[in-house]
């Protein structure tokens, strides 16, 4: 659990503007800690970064980039839906300050996507109203509002200027000014189902890290003396380098000229080889060495907006629409001209206005430079642009706003590759399919003076009413969940009669959530996520029908999320952070035949998958390869990377502070514990009983001092004695049977450590280990390291002499082949030595569950110290607390920008689902990496087809069998088997329900005879030893069948209805 929420006070003040001629007021709101517990200074001063708040984002950007961001003042002009989305993401990101600018007042059309405007704000200045709501997002970022004219004097103070909803004339003069003054300039716009983004970061933008990936490293097996020299890496894994990468070397023996050399460019020759500089004059290579990638700064020159309009470069967002960017480049310019001529945008679905826009576009194309002049304009595309230009859609603003905010961060930090220089995006597939689009008329799309006018302009009133009636299940209320709910509220999903959203999440809000789960505030920390998120979106749109649950989805909650619940749904949206829950929800959606919207993020990467019944494959149809695990022997004896020592430290934590306490408690409370333990395979019974004996007898502390003694003794065992034993078995000069050095390649030769109470790392280990050990016994610990040091002075550590005959396995294969011989005599001895349950009456231990985000609980203190001490044993570079937490805590890096953009794409797919699009190519699965930037869209994969006889079927099909006859009698097993033979010409050879085998052709005759005339539900209850819940309407049976040729055939599952 993270530290307690910041107590807050608000300061709202009028401040003078820096403009001479414009005396319009500017407001600033800064939501502050009354007394920041961590003494954190405000952004813009030399200060530590609040890792508790920014931890997940820090794993995306890094400390250096965050510090650069904290010295950047950002102006965001235009507080309609797109502007507020960019502002929200930039404020969450943690820049020095944000100024929001708008001279316009809130109108009905704004409410379809501007989530910080409410109906009572109509007629008020958009920036002024948005200010206090944006300022609450991040206590460290002062936010101010400016309602005056933008002038050169005023713009001078900013490092980054973002324009939204501005005229081309304004964009051009501000773009030129910013280019000349070295101010980073971004222009973003959205028109209904179309989006535009432009970046100009000046003449000398330096990108320090183009992709944000961890630098690669590889172990070396050979380097030739040649021109150029060729480096061969160990064949354990491909090196992963690309030609043009820069590398440097360490730990090379022999050819030591390469160690710590200046970064040198490489040329890849193969998956394990690459060439470097001329090594012919270097010393001979002997052995070892590590090659590491070095990220080299890259300078990029940007053209100004004026120059770039004429000579555009495009980032492709959808390769299936490769010709759209140039067409839309003309289309957006035509819209600006239309607006200048008529002081308005084209009316929704107005044929006359669309004709006018086409005429303007044709004239522009005739004068266009050769770099983007089109042989033929795509009339349908430009008409669609005209038809929905007035539209203002929350999902489109979420996508473009997420991208634009990421570009702001790139501008501030030099981290990741910027968009060079234009990006256009459209989602015309969201419109009705085929001729149905003709039903959209001027009348149906005209404004109603309601909060959905911006959406009605694109889709008409009918879809709006349909959206209001939807019943949706949202699983998860974290970062993706918050963004989805905001979009749902703006779109009007479940905001009408009969509509409702159920959101479930069993987690409470933690401080680290606040950086990207934008519906939560510091005062919400410790509250339930689902309830808090539901209450927050009700403020955004009071019409939304939403209820928050705190249930984990899974078999345990199928009484809540039962047939009745799922059958009433129109669809499901996942906002989950683990694969198991995703796969479970996928199975439920397949069973109930409900559409599923699936998405996820990892740092700057994001993906969207849409699952449509009877049309696409499901989420579970394809899976990522399993994560590569670290071999046991590498962890135990031969680590060569910090990841190995951190995993070892996590295993230590579980093996010292969780498992022993759990085993002791089971020994005391569970009469069958001993019987169950003795049945465990291999040497496990002995290991468990030895650990029990240690916990209850030999290592059981009587006081705090005893815990310190134990920690010191354990330090000696792990970092000195065990290493000395390993070196006794395999001395530093040991050779293998082939004559090669044993300690070479991935095997690093260790050295034992000597305990020194003056060494802070040694003392930190003992303090953390002693406190955690004390906690498992319910003994009060101490943070007084000086007192701990005094206790350590009286500790006498017995002398250790390495033993002969100790077997240490060199590989996992050797470990598996070793037959575990059980010492029965020792087992019996331990059983007699263990205190009886009666002797332990009233005693219990307290197992500790690892929690990475609480800096006061000693968990990460132990992990960092344990890992870094082991790293010191093996001369592996240590890792700081921040990196250690990432690896040991298996943290998923996350940033608000990616989440916003991904959810924008999810909600564009939602429009299609609600309209019940039938064509698979109308839907889009998407993948993006905002760091590169890279986008890829593809139509979903169709559900694979199978066949038995002439019957085609997919995962969405099943046999429907009514188990209860009209007379009320239930089908017996015999009748069930006969039914399939008669109706489907299939002979069932095996029949199962879940993990229970109900029937098989090889079943003993007596058992078969008994079962054949029993009702199906009776057999299920008997075999599974579980009662069928009253909420269950149907059972699922899996079949193995033969056809009439006696061949095995694959068939769908059976839905056997019992109620």
Rounded (10°) angle between helices 453-468 and 896-914: 60
Q: Which pLDDT belongs to residue 371?
A: 85
Are 442 and 354 in contact by the 8 Å Cβ rule? The answer is no
Residues near 413 by beta carbon (within 8 Å), at least 6 away in sequence: 61, 64, 65, 66, 68, 69, 208
Q: Which long-range contacts (CB under 8 A, 24 or more apart) does 523-530 make?
A: 523/5, 523/7, 523/8, 524/5, 525/2, 525/4, 525/5, 526/1, 526/5, 529/477, 529/478, 529/481, 529/505, 530/477, 530/503, 530/504, 530/505
Residues in the chain predicted with pLDDT less than 50, given as ranges, are: 1-24, 31-46
Q: Which residues of 249-260 are buried (b: 16+ CB within 10 A; e: fewer)?
A: beebeebbebee
Rounded to whole angstroms, the Cα distance separating 827 from 703 reads 29
Tokens of 837: 């349950």
Count CB-CB contacts under 10 A for residue 820: 11
Structure confidence at residue 292 (pLDDT): 96
Q: DSSP states of 899-925 as a string?
A: HHHHHHHHHHHHHHHHTT---GGG--E
For strand 500-504 and strand 546-549, is the pairing parallel, antiparallel, or unpaired?
parallel
Interacting residues of 152 by C-beta distance below 8 A, sequence separation 6+: 177
Residues in the chain: 1059
Q: What is the pLDDT of residues 45-88, one digit of tens each?
A: 446 899 999 999 999 999 999 999 999 999 999 999 999 999 99
The continuous run of DSSP H or E covering 333 comes out as helix 324-342
The backbone torsions φ and ψ at residue 349, rounded to the nearest 5 degrees and listed phi first, read 60, 20
Cβ neighbour number for residue 947 with a 10 Å cutoff: 11
> CB–CB of 3/37 below 8 Å?
yes
The per-residue pLDDT for 815 is 77
pLDDT at 25: 54
Q: What percent of the chain has pLDDT over 70?
A: 95
Query: In DSSP terms, which residues pair with 75 in a beta bridge?
Result: 99, 161
Q: How far is CA 804 from the centre of its chain?
A: 50
Scan for tokens 């403009």, then name that residue: 19
The separation between CA 561 and the C-alpha centre of its own chain, rounded to angstroms, equals 26
- How far is residue 435's CA from residue 3's CA, in Å, rounded to a whole number? 57
How crowded is the C-beta side of 798, counted as CA atoms within 13 Å? 7
User: For residues 881 and 864, is the Cβ–Cβ distance under 8 A?
Assistant: yes
Which stretches of 404-521 are assigned E, i.e. beta strand?
Answer: 422-426, 471-475, 500-504
> Do the beta carbons of residue 44 and residue 70 sit within 8 Å?
yes
**β 471-475/246-250 pair status:** unpaired
Catalytic residue positions?
Answer: 633
**How are beta strands 471-475 and 290-294 bridged, if at all?**
unpaired
Residues 6+ apart with CB under 8 A from 172: 305, 306, 309
Q: What does the angle CA 225 – CA 229 – CA 234 come to, to the nearest 5 degrees?
A: 100
Alpha carbon distance 428, 425 (integer Å)? 10
CA 361 centroid distance within chain: 42
């Amino acid at each position: 659990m993270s530290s307690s929420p910041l107590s807050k006070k608000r300061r709202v003040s009028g401040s003078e503007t820096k403009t001479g001629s414009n005396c319009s007021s500017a407001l600033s709101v800064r939501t502050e800690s009354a007394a920041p517990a961590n003494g954190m200074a405000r952004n813009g001063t030399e200060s530590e970064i609040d890792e508790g708040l920014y931890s997940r984002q820090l794993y995306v950007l890094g400390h250096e980039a965050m510090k650069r961001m904290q010295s950047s003042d950002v102006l965001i002009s235009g507080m309609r839906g797109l502007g507020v989305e960019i502002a929200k993401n930039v404020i969450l990101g943690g820049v020095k300050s944000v100024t929001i600018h708008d001279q316009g007042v809130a109108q009905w059309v704004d409410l379809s996507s501007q989530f910080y405007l409410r109906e009572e704000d109509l007629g008020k200045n958009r920036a002024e109203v948005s200010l206090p709501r944006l300022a609450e997002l991040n206590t460290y970022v002062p936010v101010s509002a400016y309602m005056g004219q933008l002038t050169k004097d005023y713009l001078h103070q900013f490092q980054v200027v973002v324009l939204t909803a501005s005229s081309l004339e304004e964009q051009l003069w501000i773009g030129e000014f910013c280019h000349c003054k070295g101010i980073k300039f971004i222009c973003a716009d959205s028109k209904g189902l179309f989006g535009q983004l432009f970046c100009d970061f000046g003449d000398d933008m330096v990108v320090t890290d183009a992709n944000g990936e961890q630098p690669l490293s590889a172990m070396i097996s050979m380097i030739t003396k040649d021109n150029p020299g060729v480096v061969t890496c160990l064949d354990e894994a491909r090196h992963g380098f690309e030609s043009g990468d820069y590398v440097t070397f360490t730990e090379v023996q022999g050819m030591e000229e390469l160690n710590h050399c200046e970064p040198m460019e490489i040329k890849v020759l193969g998956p394990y080889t690459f060439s470097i500089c001329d090594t012919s004059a270097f010393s001979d290579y002997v052995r070892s060495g590590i090659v590491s990638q070095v990220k080299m700064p890259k300078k990029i020159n940007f053209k100004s907006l004026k120059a770039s309009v004429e000579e555009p470069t495009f980032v492709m967002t959808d390769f299936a629409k490769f010709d759209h960017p140039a067409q839309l480049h003309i289309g957006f310019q035509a819209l600006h001209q239309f607006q200048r001529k008529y002081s308005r945008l084209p009316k929704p679905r107005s044929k006359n206005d669309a004709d006018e826009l086409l005429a303007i576009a044709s004239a522009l194309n005739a004068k266009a430079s050769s770099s983007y002049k089109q042989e033929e304009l795509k009339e349908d595309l430009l008409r669609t642009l005209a038809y929905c230009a007035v539209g203002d859609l929350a999902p489109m603003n979420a996508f473009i706003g997420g991208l634009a905010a990421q570009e702001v961060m790139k501008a501030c930090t030099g981290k990741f590759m910027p968009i060079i220089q234009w990006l256009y995006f459209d989602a015309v597939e969201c419109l009705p399919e085929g001729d149905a689009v003709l039903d959209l008329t001027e009348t149906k799309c005209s404004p109603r003076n309601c909060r959905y006018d911006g959406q009605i302009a694109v889709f008409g009133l009918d879809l709006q009413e349909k959206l209001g009636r939807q019943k949706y299940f949202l699983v998860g209320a974290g970062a993706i969940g918050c963004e989805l709910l905001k979009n749902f509220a703006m779109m009007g999903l479940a905001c009408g009669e009969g509509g409702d959203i159920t959101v479930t999440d069993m987690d409470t809000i933690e401080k680290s959530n606040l950086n990207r789960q934008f519906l939560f505030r510091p005062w919400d920390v410790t509250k339930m996520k689902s309830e808090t998120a539901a209450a927050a979106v009700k403020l955004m749109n009071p019409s939304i029908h939403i209820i928050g649950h705190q249930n984990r989805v899974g078999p345990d909650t199928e009484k809540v999320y039962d047939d009745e619940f799922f059958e009433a749904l129109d669809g499901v949206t996942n906002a989950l952070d683990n694969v198991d829950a995703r796969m479970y929800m996928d199975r439920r959606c397949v069973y109930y035949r409900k559409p599923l919207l699936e998405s996820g993020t990892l740092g700057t990467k994001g993906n969207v998958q849409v699952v449509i019944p009877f049309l696409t494959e499901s989420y579970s149809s394809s899976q990522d390869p399993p994560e590569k695990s670290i071999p046991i022997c590498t962890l135990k004896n031969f680590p060569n990377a910090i990841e190995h020592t951190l995993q070892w430290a996590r295993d230590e934590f579980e093996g010292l502070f969780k498992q022993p306490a759990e085993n002791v408690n089971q020994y005391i409370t569970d009469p069958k514990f001993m019987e169950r333990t003795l049945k465990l395979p291999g040497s496990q019974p002995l290991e468990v009983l030895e650990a029990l004996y240690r916990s209850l007898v030999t290592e059981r502390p009587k006081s705090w001092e005893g815990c310190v003694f134990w920690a010191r003794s354990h330090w000696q065992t792990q970092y000195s004695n065990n290493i000395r034993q390993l070196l006794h078995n395999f001395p530093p000069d040991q050779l293998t049977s082939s004559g090669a050095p044993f300690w070479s390649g991935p095997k690093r030769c260790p050295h034992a450590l000597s305990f020194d109470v003056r060494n802070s790392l040694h003392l930190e280990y003992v303090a953390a280990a002693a406190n955690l050990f004390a906690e498992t016994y319910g003994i009060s610990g101490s943070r007084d390291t000086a007192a701990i040091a005094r206790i350590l002075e009286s500790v006498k550590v017995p002398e250790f002499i390495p033993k002969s005959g100790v077997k240490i396995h060199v590989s996992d294969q050797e470990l598996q082949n070793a037959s575990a011989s059980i010492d029965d005599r020792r087992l019996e001895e331990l059983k007699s030595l263990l205190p009886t349950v009666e002797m332990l009456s009233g005693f219990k231990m307290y197992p500790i569950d690892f929690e990475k985000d609480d800096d006061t609980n000693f968990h990460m203190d132990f992990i960092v110290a344990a890992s870094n001490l082991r790293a010191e044993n093996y001369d592996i570079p240590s890792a700081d607390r921040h990196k250690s937490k990432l690896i040991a805590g298996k943290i998923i890096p996350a940033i608000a920008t990616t989440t916003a953009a991904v959810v924008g794409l999810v909600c564009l797919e939602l429009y299609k689902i609600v309209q019940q699009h039938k064509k698979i190519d109308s839907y889009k699965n998407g993948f993006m990496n905002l760091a590169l930037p890279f986008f890829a869209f593809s139509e979903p994969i169709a559900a694979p087809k199978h066949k038995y006889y002439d019957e085609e079927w997919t995962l969405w099909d099943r046999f429907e069998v009514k188990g209860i006859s009209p007379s009320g009698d239930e089908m017996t097993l015999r009748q069930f088997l006969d039914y399939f033979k008669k109706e489907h010409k299939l002979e069932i050879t095996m029949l199962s329900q879940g993990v229970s085998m109900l029937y098989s052709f090889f079943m003993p005759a007596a058992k078969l005879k008994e079962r054949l005339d029993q009702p199906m539900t009776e057999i299920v209850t008997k075999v599974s030893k579980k009662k069928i819940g009253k909420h269950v309407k149907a059972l699922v049976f899996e079949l193995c069948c033969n056809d009439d040729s006696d061949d095995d055939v694959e068939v769908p599952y059976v839905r056997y209805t019992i109620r």
